[in-house]
Chain A
């Protein structure tokens, strides 16, 4: 097991390195002169030179990459061109905002999706199962921004039960109020993620229902429902958690649109602003960090799968 984890971490590091290269190359091949764009056309050639020197842009690309990645490794994320502020001071609060939204969303999504999967599995082949499975996956292919706009229209404008902004107006909102504001965007995420998560729970529960220990439990006199909640869920839950971990990339991409619609000052909104302002120093680090988080979650998911399934463990270490 340890060998598997060590090998898997090694692979993740390689992937992370390639991600950093992709991001860096994309940010370096852009046409147009960054200095000219930031300082304006009228600045003197000397001023451009000084600016480039200040930002380290006069050095060869390899050195620039080294400085950047070395800084990120040691916690120095550099300065934002746009805000003239350390990148960490801009990304830190935004990341914590996005994390709050993600946590509220997952607390809402995980139990509902798991319940949906269990209900579908226990009614396998019946109408309820079809509706949950086909409906769930159909909902998942509708973009987050469409869900967000429709939800705002229904619950924020037509019947006013939820606020249309994800962020309370007060200076010091209490936690209940903050969560209340995050519910509508979380529901938008629920629609997109429900299908994937409940499908995996359903598969896990069906497998467990057909197993020997389930037959024993039923023969022992437990009702089907009790048996499912006592025995089956325990076995079906871990793959579900692993799948939730693999859904983080979708979450990261989807949050951008949702934060935009709900006017929420999170990571996605900062990213969009950095794109518009062409703030490369901020953008490059922010995207690298997104990649880092995603790779970490994939690592967790893979290790979980391996704990569950010895065959996977063998395949990778061989």
Chain B
């Protein structure tokens, strides 16, 4: 009986917070931009005007026009179509990498924060060491070691690098929670540790985890774009935004700005939109 009123109260609080979010201007702007790019990554097939890889040598480096909305690059490919197609790549990769980091990080953080003691100490040392090396440099090391860049490696590296941050945030939240009565009550009921961690504590630190996830997602976009710009992120020739900028930016000195500027602005808009969302979530959830 008590349980149902409790969950109803929680639903009310959630509804209230969502209402506040809808009034938050930054959130609405961020969600609209991100929504647009998600729409593009799902329906890109219907939105492109040309095949993104077809080279039209008759019209090389043509400026934006009614036929080529964003112009064409130095091999005559339609920049607009490439930007639209590129949305899916960066979104999917960033999302999977962040989800991986969030899953592993949250599990480690839950365990470390609950068990404390030696396990916690050793884990925190290792995580600190990992975060002492910048993401980009770890990725460079891995690419050098493996000898080529690949999407799977990039996802694994970014997930690996995000693990410490997520683990630390979740651990801090768990440290606060594990002092509370409902944990002690669960212990008295002799619940299994896994049950206490994932069924009792996890739902209560979920807002923290969600905000951390969106913050990390923003960094993942940052990292994926930078790595592919440096030529160590994705397979060569991929139509993702970072690679597009890398392949075209040396032409900006001759004033051919469109093949570079449009994907660059696309990267910026996604990164900023996610930042606006996570900022608003932080404010509304009062973390």
Cα A157 to Cα B275 in complex, Å, equals 30
- Contact size range, A: 35 or more
Report B251-285 residues with CB < 8 Å from chain A CB. Answer: 252-253, 255, 257, 260-261, 264, 267-268, 271-272, 274-276, 279
Whole-angstrom distance between the Cβ of B238 and the nearest chain A Cβ: 16
The interface-forming segment of A64-72, A92-100, A105-113, A291-299 is A291-299
A261 to B226, CA, bound (A): 12
Of the stretches B3-11, B123-131, B184-192, the one at the interface is: B123-131
Please measure, in the bound complex, the distance between the C-alpha atom of A30 and the C-alpha atom of B279, giving whole angstroms: 40
Bound CA span A275–B230, Å? 11
Interface size on B, residues (CB 8 A): 48
Question: Nearest-CB distance from A275 to chain B (Å)?
Answer: 4
In the complex, identify which listed stretch (B41-49, B61-69, B144-152) lies at the interface while the others stay far away: B144-152
Instruction: Using A30-B146, A157-B255, A253-B134 as known contacts, say yes or no to A149 and B140 having CB atoms under 8 A apart.
Output: no
Cα–Cα, bound, A17→B274 (Å): 36
**Does A221 count as interface, using CB distance less than 8 angstroms?**
no
Residues from 199 to 255 in A contacting B, C-beta threshold 8 Å:
249-250, 252-254
Please, which residues of chain B bring their CB within 8 A of the CB of A294?
Answer: 132-134
Question: In the complex, A23 Cα to B133 Cα: how many Å?
Answer: 9
B266 → chain A closest CB, angstroms: 10
* CB of B103 within 8 Å of the partner chain: no
**Complex interface: stretch among A54-62, A138-146, A168-176, A178-186:** A138-146
| Residues from chain A with Cβ under 8 Å of B146 in the complex | 30-31
The 3 A-B pairs of least Cβ separation, nearest first, read: A253-B134, A18-B129, A30-B145
Contacts A27-B141, A27-B145, A278-B144 aside, 4 further interface pairs with beta carbons under 8 A come to: A137-B275, A141-B274, A142-B272, A250-B134
List residues of B whose CB falls within 8 A of some A CB.
26, 125-126, 128-137, 140-147, 218-219, 221-222, 225-226, 229-230, 232, 242, 245, 249, 252-253, 255, 257, 260-261, 264, 267-268, 271-272, 274-276, 279
